[in-house]
A and B are shown apart, each in its own frame.
Chain A
Amino acid sequence: MSAFATHFLFEFKTGIRNKTLLLMNYLFPLGFYLMMGAIMPGINPLFRDTMIPAMIVFAVLAATFLGLPDPLVNARESGVLRSYKINGVPASSILLIPGLTTGLHLAIVVLLITFTAPLLFDAAVPAHGLNFFLVMVALSLACAGLGLLIGVVSPSTRMTVLYSQVIFIPSMILGGLMLPYSMLPEAARYFAQLMPATHAMNAFNGLAMGTTADFNPWASVGILASSGLLAFGLALYLFNWDNKNSQQRGHRALALLAFLPYVLGILFLP
């Protein structure tokens, strides 16, 4: 088996063996989905229309922001990355493979939600399968890129939690999962557009669910994809094998460049 395949298989198994990753990849999103499915349609019947995309966005946020960065920081702190370096494991594999395996775990969760939500909670089914898949890929790319970038720039596990929550909590509140973007105050809308969740919900609504988008949904897909690629590139550039090694290629603040596509979206989207 090739090095890539061996590494991929190990990382995929780790996503289930590691209790934190199991929680963030499966238990937390699926548990939240079942809870929201049982409660929300009674409070707000319109929730059924956006239930599948909202729960998928939540699953992606949990797996990528709460699950993905921490193992990377732990690996750096405990010397795993040093072991990898001396055995010839490239930095690109260290970043790319966990991103891909997280994507595979997410695909399983997405399939579970997409196929069970209409049966269990009478949720609206996506109208355009291909667009649904495209938005899902763009969202995963954007969030996995940011999650890995957090893992790369975070100096400690404590700071990882802080950085992750800075994106996760506002995404939950302002990202259109619980409360539609159109109901947000003007100032909050600008802030919401800095979140991948907002663009994902906008794109899902406009391109996949057959409902109305609040702004250009294809622009949202473009913003998600470009920010994801930018975040991966920055993660690779800022990657550091060792906490003790003071030689870094760039300042951590460079990571903020990953939000450039979102800022451009605020400036140029009508």
Chain B
Amino acid sequence: MFNQVLKGVGMAQPIINVENFRKTYAAFVAVDNISFAVPPGEIFGLLGPNGAGKTTTLECLEGLRQPDSGRLTVAGFDPHKDAPKLRQVIGVQLQAAGMPEAMTPNEAMAFFCAYHQVTPRYDLLDRFGLSSKRKTQFHELSTGQQRRLALALAIAHEPQVLFLDEPTAGLDVASRTELHAVMRELRSKGTTIILATHDMAEAEQLSDRVAILLNGRIATIGTPLEITATGAGLTKVSVHTRDNLLLNSQRTFPAVAQIVQKESYALYFSRDIGQTVPALIAFVQAAQDELIDLRVERPSLEERFLELTNHQGKGA
């Protein structure tokens, strides 16, 4: 199965390998025999509802927990057996930014960089908007500032692999945009990023590939485009015309599965926009109405995710 995964993504030397990984907590199966591989320089999104196994997968890859069975390697190291070597090549931003209460951002940077044996990167504190908080104790920082500090610390030693667990939770728009820019910059330098998030828009926007975890299993894996294409496949066509002739119309169009009205727009969910859109335009022109706005939107990752979770819920 693992060979199929590798073959599927066309990679020769993945930086992260997960083969038949399983982890249980007493009777609860947190992760159930999953396999995937991530090539260097990729942003790989791990998506899933609470309890799907995202954090457990990350924690086993980071060496914080030991898998029950399966084989995990990160940058060639076994996260459990080669922990000291692994620490030098990974950066981790945990879901809960654990830092001593009395530690200031300046001290935290000096402290963690000392253990990584690199020069402290105080410039990262400025980049993450912490210039004025450099000497403020950790417990006096806001949640957003604490998360930004955790991120700055995670990348200070320029890791090969960066694990981000809900990195933008609690961040304002500016910090979020800055983080996304940093992630893209790191990717361009060859850093592999594993991103666990609830934020589908973020995952779709940033990830090269995503895996959706449901009940400890991979429900689907691929690029955001591939994943959205494998769903029910309905594309939304929103049309607004001058005379609103499409509203309250009983008229049907080719390949349309569903029609919804929203404010002044008629929304058509089409199985084949190649048939639907020309028919709509022809109808508007024939009725001597005028097209004000026409938008075609493919299904989002969020819609595909909801489709999968609903399907799983019904199946359960």
Residues in A lying within 8 Å of B, measured CB to CB: 1-3, 5-7, 10, 13-14, 17-18, 71, 75, 78-83, 85-89, 241-242, 245-247
Contacts and interface: CB of A to CB of B under 8 A. Distances in A.
Contact of B101 (A2, A18, A87, A246): A18
B99 A87 contact: no
Contact of B64 (A71, A89, A242): A242
Interface string B47-83: 0000000000000001111100000000000000000
B87 interface: yes
Question: Which of B87, B110, B111, B114: most chain A CB closer than 10 A?
Answer: B114
Contact of B114 (A6, A242, A246): A6
A171 to B, nearest CB: 28
Contact of A87 (B25, B97, B116): B116
Contacts, number: 73
Main secondary structure of the interface of A (DSSP, over half): helix
28 contacts: A1-B110, A3-B117, A6-B111, A6-B114, A7-B115, A10-B107, A14-B103, A17-B137, A78-B96, A79-B94, A81-B98, A82-B64, A83-B94, A83-B98, A85-B64, A86-B63, A86-B94, A87-B87, A87-B115, A87-B153, A88-B84, A88-B87, A88-B88, A88-B116, A245-B64, A245-B65, A246-B25, A247-B66
Contact of A88 (B97, B107, B115): B115
A78 B99 CA distance: 8
Contacts of A78: 96, 98
A80 B98 contact: yes
Question: Which of A1, A80, A83: most chain B CB closer than 10 A?
Answer: A83
Contacts of B87: 86-88
B10 interface: no
B92 interface: yes
A14 B100 contact: yes
Given A80-B99, A89-B115, A245-B65, 18 more contacts: A2-B114, A3-B114, A3-B117, A10-B107, A13-B102, A14-B103, A17-B137, A79-B97, A82-B98, A83-B97, A86-B64, A86-B92, A87-B87, A87-B115, A87-B116, A88-B115, A241-B64, A242-B64
Contacts of A13: 102
Contacts of B100: 10, 14, 71, 75, 80
Given A79-B94, A86-B94, A6 B64 contact: no
A176 B25 CA distance: 49
A109 to B, nearest CB: 20
Nearest to B153: A87
A117 B111 CA distance: 39
Contacts of A18: 101-102
Nearest to A13: B102
User: Nearest 7 A-B pairs (CB), nearest first?
Assistant: A79-B98, A88-B87, A3-B114, A83-B98, A6-B114, A80-B98, A17-B102
Contacts of A87: 87, 92, 112, 115-116, 153
Contacts of A83: 94, 97-99
Interface in B102-134: 102-103, 107, 110-112, 114-117
A78 B102 CA distance: 13
B87 to A, nearest CB: 4
Contacts of B107: 10
A89 B153 CA distance: 14
B102 A7 contact: no
Given A10-B103, A13-B102, A86-B87, A79 B96 contact: yes
A241 to B, nearest CB: 8
A7 to B, nearest CB: 7
Contacts of B96: 78-79
Nearest to B157: A87
Contact of B111 (A7, A85, A245): A7
A79 B100 CA distance: 9
